[in-house]
Amino acid sequence: MTGTEPPGLTVDGTGLRCVALLLQLRKAIAGLPPGTVVHVIATDPAAPLDLPAWCHLIGHSYLGPLPEPGPLAYALRIGGEARPVDASRPWHLAP
């Protein structure tokens, strides 16, 4: 299965910097079952680097950029063993 399968959720982070995007993404995916595919729309130029790194840190699978709706869309799959992050700093694991 790839990120091109229909998403269970699409998160629109248009105009958000990656920190705000990750906070919004974390809130949006809370409680989703493992295996759910999430499409993320992100205009921040750092998103292609930050999203895979965040997924690796948290325990989700980064599936890569999507051909549609355009070059600013990415896919990830919710992991079964997701690790909790600090509430105010989504790029740090919770203590």
Return the active site residues: 18
CA nearest to 82, candidates 33, 42, 10: 33
Q: Are 35 and 60 in contact (CB under 8 A)?
A: no
Tokens of 14: 């248009």
Return the number of other C-beta atoms located less than 10 Å from residue 75's C-beta: 21
**CA 26/CA 35 separation, integer angstroms:** 15
